[in-house]
Amino acid sequence: MLHIIKDTKLGYQYSKNPFEIMSMETYVDLVVQQLERLPETMVIARLTGDGIGSDLLAPNGRDEKLSY
């Protein structure tokens, strides 16, 4: 999922003109579709990452991820 971080080029653009980003539900659906295509023997090292909360402009639902 796209993270928009403060004090970055994308962060400045987003602050000036916010744009819609992918919802958590859409993101999860896409990840599931991609995982289903992988061989069962493939090891996945990481599915998600987090920016520092105070530096994150979007998405706002960091805690929402825990509900999945």
% the chain with pLDDT above 90: 56
| pTM, rounded to two decimals | 0.67
For residues 11-40, give the mean pLDDT: 94
For residues 10-37, give the mean pLDDT: 94
Dihedral in degrees, nearest 10, Cα atoms 20, 21, 23, 24 = -150
Tell me the H-state helices in 1-68: 9-16, 24-37
Domain-wise residue ranges, the chain: 4-67
Q: Is 4 exposed, middle or buried (0-12, 13-18, 19+ CB in 10 A)?
A: buried
Angle at 26 between CA 20 and CA 57, to 5 degrees: 40
Judge whether residue 34 has pLDDT over 80: yes
Question: Which H/E stretch holds residue 5?
Answer: strand 4-5
